[in-house]
Chain A
Amino acid sequence: MNESFLLTILILSPLLGIVLLSVMPGNHRFINYMGVLGTVLPLVLTLIVFSLFDRTVSGVQFVEYRQWFELMTSISPNEPYTVAYDLGVTGLSVLFLMLASLITFLASLTALRLKESAKGFYILFLLLELGLLGVFVSENLFLFFLFFEITLVSMFLLVGKWGGFNREKAAFSFMIYNGIGSILLLIVIIVLFVEMKTTNITELTMLLKETDSLEFLSGDTRTWLFVLLLIAFGIKLPIVPFHTWMVRVHVEAPIAVVMIHAGVLLKIGAYGLLRFGVGFFPQQLKDMAVVLAILGVINLLYGAFIALVQTELRSVLAYSSISHMGIVLLGVASFNTAGLQGAVFQTISHGLIAALLFLLVGVIVDRFHTTKLEELGGVASQAPLFAGFLLAAGLASLGLPGMSGFISEFLAFLGLFESMPVIGSVGILGLILTAVYMLRAVLAVTFGERRPLFDGIRDLTAVEIVPSAILLSIIIWIGVYPAVLSNTLQLARTIGIGG
Chain B
Amino acid sequence: MNRIIVGLMLVVCVVVGAGLIGILDSRATDVFLEATRPDFQKIPIGVFGFQNGGGPEWLGGRIEEVLKADLQRSLVFSLVDLPGIGVKVREVSTADKAVFKQAAENGVSVLVWGKSGPRNGSGDSELSMDGFVYDSGSDEVVGGKRYVGSTSVVRLMAHRFADELVFRYTGEAGIARTKIVYVAEHGNARELFVMDYDGYEPKQITADGFLNLMPRWSPDRRFIVFTAYRSRNTQDIDILELATGKRWTLVSMAGLNITPALSPDGNFLAFASSQDGNSEIYKLDTRTKASHRLTVNQGGDLSPTWSPTGREMAFTSDRGGAPQVFVMGADGSNVRRLTYEGDYNAAPAWSPRGNWIAYVCRTAQRLYKLCIVSPDGQKRLQVTTGSGIDDSPSWSPDGRHLTFSSTVDGKSHIYMVDTDGKNLERITFGGTHNSSPSWSPAL
Partners in one complex: no
Chain B residues near A (Cβ < 8 Å): none
Chain A residues near B (Cβ < 8 Å): none
